[in-house]
């Protein structure tokens, strides 16, 4: 199964799709040079493109899955929430890519604030081009990370051959993933729905299968197995090791249980959070669930920016597997 990635960043969602759906990334689209250089290092065989607004999708290699976290600034509560009036509103280009390439599946990611601003347009566009959608909100903390980072994940399927697609989904992913009992609610989804339990909508063309689900309780429920390390503490660099010796970082205070849990999930110790009074990019890399050294080659500032815009791979993987499981379970019912 081949994947095409839009707004790829440093590849967090690409990793999630590969792991959850047994896929291989064929091409990526990323405008910023710094994260694009990270993609080139980790996916040397994938084709890369820069400006999503200039791509002729008729010329692109067909893929089975299109994934992407289109810019969140138009919808984020941290911004001005201009929605479709924001110049960074690039969803229409994503929708065009889906419409032309007609992948079997599309995986979307955005901030939870998107539910109350602009998400109705996304669902309407998907329905108009013939795709059903199901979605869930999930926090990074729900899968063991020591931070909240609540995000919206959407799995869209080509409505032509929906039953066959759902049957295929039964075989995707690794390990059992329980399907929470959805609570259906009609109307426009809002952020007040803390559990991500959205309703369904109907368009002129077709009814859209679109149901949300409760967030995951923790990583273990979703079969996300930690890679246990037996080598003891492993620091990110010689300078950190010299700074800390064999003492490790123990003064986490109230955050220690969360830090230790994520260490168990990732299978490696937390790096020192700051060096010379500045936030350590290696620590943020660890917080975001990427392999050690994932953003090597970037300056500290560029690494922090790229990581701040990234998708936690484990969070995306669990969300996709949850959505895949729900469709697969319905197909078997």
Catalytic center residues: 72
Contact call for residues 265 and 221 (beta carbons, < 8 A): no
Sign of CA dihedral 212, 218, 220, 221: negative
Nearest to residue 208, comparing CAs of 152, 153, 156?
156
Contact call for residues 331 and 170 (beta carbons, < 8 A): yes
* Alpha-carbon gap, residue 266 to 283, rounded angstroms: 13
Phi then psi for residue 282, to 5 deg, are -65, -35
* Alpha-carbon gap, residue 32 to 34, rounded angstroms: 6
* Alpha-carbon gap, residue 238 to 221, rounded angstroms: 37
* Alpha-carbon gap, residue 24 to 3, rounded angstroms: 6
Bridge-partner residues for 142, per DSSP?
Answer: none
Phi then psi for residue 201, to 5 deg, are -130, 160
* Alpha-carbon gap, residue 215 to 238, rounded angstroms: 39
Nearest to residue 317, comparing CAs of 156, 184, 136?
136
Q: How far apart are the first and last CA of the chain?
A: 25
């Amino acid at each position: 199964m081949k994947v095409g990635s839009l707004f790829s960043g440093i590849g967090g969602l690409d990793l999630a799709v590969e792991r959850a759906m047994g896929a291989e990334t064929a091409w990526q689209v990323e405008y910023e040079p710094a994260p694009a250089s990270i993609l080139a290092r980790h996916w040397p065989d994938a084709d890369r493109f820069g400006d999503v607004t200039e791509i002729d999708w008729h010329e692109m290699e067909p893929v089975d899955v299109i994934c992407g976290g289109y810019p969140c600034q138009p919808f984020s509560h941290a911004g001005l929430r201009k929605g479709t009036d924001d110049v960074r509103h690039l969803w229409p280009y994503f929708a065009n890519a889906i419409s032309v390439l007609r992948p079997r599946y599309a995986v979307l990611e955005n901030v939870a604030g998107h539910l109350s601003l602009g998400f109705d347009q996304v669902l309407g566009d998907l329905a108009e081009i013939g795709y059903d959608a199901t979605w869930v909100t999930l926090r990074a903390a729900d899968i063991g990370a020591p931070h909240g980072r609540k995000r919206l994940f959407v799995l869209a399927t080509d409505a032509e051959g929906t039953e066959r697609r759902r049957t295929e989904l039964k075989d995707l992913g690794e390990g059992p993933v329980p399907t929470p009992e959805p609570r259906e609610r009609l109307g426009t989804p809002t952020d007040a729905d803390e559990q991500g339990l959205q309703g369904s909508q109907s368009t002129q063309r077709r009814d859209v299968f679109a149901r949300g689900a409760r967030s995951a309780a923790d990583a273990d429920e979703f079969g996300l197995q930690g890679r246990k390390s037996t080598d003891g503490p492993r620091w990110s660099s010689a300078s950190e090791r010299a700074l800390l010796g064999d003492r490790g970082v123990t003064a986490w205070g109230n955050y220690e249980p969360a830090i230790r849990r994520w260490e168990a999930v990732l299978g490696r110790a937390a790096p020192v959070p700051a060096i010379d009074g500045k936030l350590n990019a290696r620590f943020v890399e660890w917080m975001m669930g990427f392999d050690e050294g994932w953003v090597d080659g970037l300056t500290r500032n560029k690494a922090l920016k790229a990581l701040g815009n990234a998708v936690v791979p484990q969070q995306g993987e669990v969300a996709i597997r949850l959505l895949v499981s729900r469709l697969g379970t319905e197909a078997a019912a």
